[in-house]
Structure 1
């Protein structure tokens, strides 16, 4: 690799002196730890921290030569844009290998320091691209997306993990579904050194069966003392920080708006829950298993459901009416609505004059104040979107079990740079699965908060003892 001189400071660009102390600490941690888990809340600057460390490792220490960044599809260009904002890393050359196979191959063959690929193409890169996997450093942006040890992306990356000299995992939601998630994430990072090489042994050592049906175990819960033991094992390669500790965040108001179903509507949902089948307006709605049942019940709580032929069957408009009240109560301020199912989107669009946040122009128009009511899907709002300039009110029309998507969507508005109090409304159908989802989210948040607190650095204490 031809080493280039560091970029000089240019007008309008941020330089190294603009980094916060916690960011400088994180840079040093990455440099000093060939294996590192960086658990930072949204808005703390994971990207610039990592790029700064990579810049030093490439051009000052000469400890790496070719870097692969694996990230969510929509975040690929975020890395490239970040380089353009900071003068001290502007010398880095990035190649974004996202798009068609031809485009990806061309990008991977282009001379660069850092190559960026979306996580869906990890298997393609390792097994199907015919290119040699000659990366000595791997950055996993959103480490939590590798929490499933049976996923193709996990298996593919594990095949080449022994060739990688440095690996960094970045995420703000390391245990979105509980501590069981951590095994695969750290198995990938340290190849089983801390939490073991086998999921069965990890489960046996730290968990006991929780929900079960005779011999079939549906979930596990930590043994007494297991959480502390796990935190202790990973603490030497892990740092974590909460945004509230380092950023001036706006006030946050979280609100639940309950809607009440009629007795007939409630009976329809109860029949589905009890029998895995119900009849709505002459159409038969069935659920094959517990996961399918959960989806059907969430749809029905929202007011509509897909029948067995894929057609939409209307049940009620309780949430639409509540949504109308919330929009009216915003008194003309912009409102962002999170939906989950397509039939929710269709009914929202039919009732209100809304615009979907899908493209870069949509994002720009929202932040410029040109959109009064916007709708967004949590899966597309999860990472890399800054929407805090366009409004401060978020309404969850439909809920999700995913803590990661839930927190990341909220963080689009509740983040540094937001000038107003952020209000997050949840429209909850009383006596339905909505209430269980809200309880589960609160429980998961506590588990994740405990993890982050356990390995959270305290810069003040470190300075005192230094």
Structure 2
């Protein structure tokens, strides 16, 4: 296929070529894969700057999306590649195959480094935000070999999924500490103050006054952002909440668990051993069913299922995609609505042909390279997620270029429960991220960088 790039794609490709280390914060649907591959072709086969490139991506994207894009476009002819996934034997064979580009899933970065097979002069990290933890093994492994690289590119649509503190590991991989400091302790001390804490234990940090602008200024020379709605003709988007209400008895059960961390039952209590465990159980209760201490599913109420039935009916026969979080929610949705899980490529094909009236999808599997916009325009969040990254990626399966209808996204929120806190948290994270995106926005029209 012939590639006719938009002006923003040309700009982004030139930005990669010009900067030896850079971060591209690109909205879903802007074509970050083809932008990057075009830059790689030039750097390898035109400028001869690099000869062996490693692309790190989520497993399915590494296995399917990047190879498919290389094969798809005429102008990438000559850009040989090897996909380093599968068993250890298969990975070893792939890494020893002669190619310009090697594509690996992020879980195997440590394996590559530990086995002394990391021999690359450029790295592309697809979903840079998956390296947001400086304590993660993948971060430590890549940081260990970062000094051997001539070039590095980080790609993501959600650079600060949980707040500005997430930026340090990502930028550190790009510039080795030049802009935000070599150590995360120094970064925290310089730009943040403790927020939530219990005596000496600090759970979170908040930016000092003026810190956000200072951080944005520091990274603006090597990072650019682009939003789909600024660059493409995006479909109209309507987002709303639909409230569900528990009965007095159901709400009392919810409050008991919240206050006592345990809800007694004759043959198996529902208990929460920690704050994280409590959050998990409260989310389940808001949805209507909970796992007890024996792993048995206890249905507390059907309020969300009833609300969902109303929303499906209101869709007037149009296909509906439902996002769920817990396995028991999936089972209940299948039982109540005969919903079809979107798991395999044949499910995607059936959905896009309009053959599935009610489909369900887990946000963690609704990420990169999954186009569902042809099959419908209505997404309902049955179970909510704290993750802004997963939330946005799941929404972008329908709200993207090529969608012909107005996209309707609805959250079923159980009144007086943790659902309300999750919606607030997502909105707050979105505001923080929007400020960063705005601060490093690519100035294509006036030629500034």
**TM-score, length basis structure 2:** 0.98
Task: State the SS of the aligned residue for 2:187.
Answer: helix
1:271 lines up with 2:256 in the alignment: yes
1:63 lines up with 2:70 in the alignment: no
Task: Indicate the residue corresponding to 1:111 in structure 2.
Answer: 98
Task: State the SS of the aligned residue for 1:386.
Answer: coil
1:52 lines up with 2:38 in the alignment: yes
Which whole-Å CA distance do the structure 2 matches of 1:217 and 1:256 have between them?
33
1:426 lines up with 2:414 in the alignment: no
Task: Indicate the residue corresponding to 1:37 in structure 2.
Answer: 23
Q: Note if contact 1:338-1:397 (Cα within 8 Å) is conserved in structure 2.
A: yes
Task: Indicate the residue corresponding to 1:245 in structure 2.
Answer: 230
Task: Indicate the residue corresponding to 2:14 in structure 1.
Answer: 28
**Structure 1 range deviating more: 141-150 or 212-221:** 212-221
1:309 lines up with 2:313 in the alignment: no
- Relative to structure 1, is the Cα distance of residues 249 and 136 closer, same or farther in structure 2, using a 3 angstrom cutoff? same
Which whole-Å CA distance do the structure 2 matches of 1:366 and 1:406 have between them?
20
Which whole-Å CA distance do the structure 2 matches of 1:157 and 1:86 have between them?
30
Task: State the SS of the aligned residue for 2:269.
Answer: strand
Task: State the SS of the aligned residue for 2:47.
Answer: coil
For 1:214, which of 177, 196, 199 is the aligned residue? 199
Where in structure 1 are there 5+ consecutive unaligned residues?
1-12
Which whole-Å CA distance do the structure 2 matches of 1:14 and 1:398 have between them?
41
Give runs of ≥4 in structure 1 deviating > 6 Å: none
Task: Indicate the residue corresponding to 1:188 in structure 2.
Answer: 173
**TM superposition shift of 1:274:** 1.2
Task: Indicate the residue corresponding to 1:436 in structure 2.
Answer: 421
**Structure 1 range deviating more: 82-91 or 257-266:** 82-91
Which whole-Å CA distance do the structure 1 matches of 2:203 and 2:316 have between them?
46
Task: State the SS of the aligned residue for 1:37.
Answer: strand
**TM superposition shift of 1:282:** 5.4
Task: Indicate the residue corresponding to 2:441 in structure 1.
Answer: 456
Task: State the SS of the aligned residue for 1:257.
Answer: strand
- Per-residue displacement from partner, 1:288-308 (whole Å, max 9, x unpaired)? 111111101001100011111
Q: How many residue pairs were aligned?
A: 448
For 2:75, which of 60, 63, 88 is the aligned residue? 88
**Structure 1 range deviating more: 79-88 or 406-415:** 79-88
**TM superposition shift of 1:353:** 1.5
**TM superposition shift of 1:90:** 2.8
Which whole-Å CA distance do the structure 1 matches of 2:6 and 2:73 have between them?
14
Which whole-Å CA distance do the structure 2 matches of 1:283 and 1:436 have between them?
28
Q: Note if contact 1:261-1:429 (Cα within 8 Å) is conserved in structure 2.
A: yes
Which whole-Å CA distance do the structure 2 matches of 1:126 and 1:390 have between them?
42
Which whole-Å CA distance do the structure 2 matches of 1:391 and 1:270 have between them?
38
Where in structure 2 are there 5+ consecutive unaligned residues?
none
Task: State the SS of the aligned residue for 1:224.
Answer: coil
Q: Note if contact 2:268-2:294 (Cα within 8 Å) is conserved in structure 1.
A: no
Task: Indicate the residue corresponding to 2:397 in structure 1.
Answer: 412
Task: Indicate the residue corresponding to 1:14 in structure 2.
Answer: 2
**TM superposition shift of 1:252:** 0.3
For 2:60, which of 49, 64, 74 is the aligned residue? 74
Which whole-Å CA distance do the structure 1 matches of 2:309 and 2:340 have between them?
16
**TM superposition shift of 1:281:** 6.2
**TM superposition shift of 1:179:** 0.2
For 2:158, which of 155, 173, 179 is the aligned residue? 173
Give the alignment's Cα RMSD to 1 decimal.
Answer: 1.2
**Structure 1 range deviating more: 103-112 or 218-227:** 103-112
Task: State the SS of the aligned residue for 2:318.
Answer: coil
Q: Note if contact 1:280-1:313 (Cα within 8 Å) is conserved in structure 2.
A: no
1:311-460 matched pairs, under 5 angstroms: 311-460=296-445
Which whole-Å CA distance do the structure 2 matches of 1:84 and 1:387 have between them?
22
Which whole-Å CA distance do the structure 2 matches of 1:72 and 1:93 have between them?
20
Task: State the SS of the aligned residue for 1:236.
Answer: coil
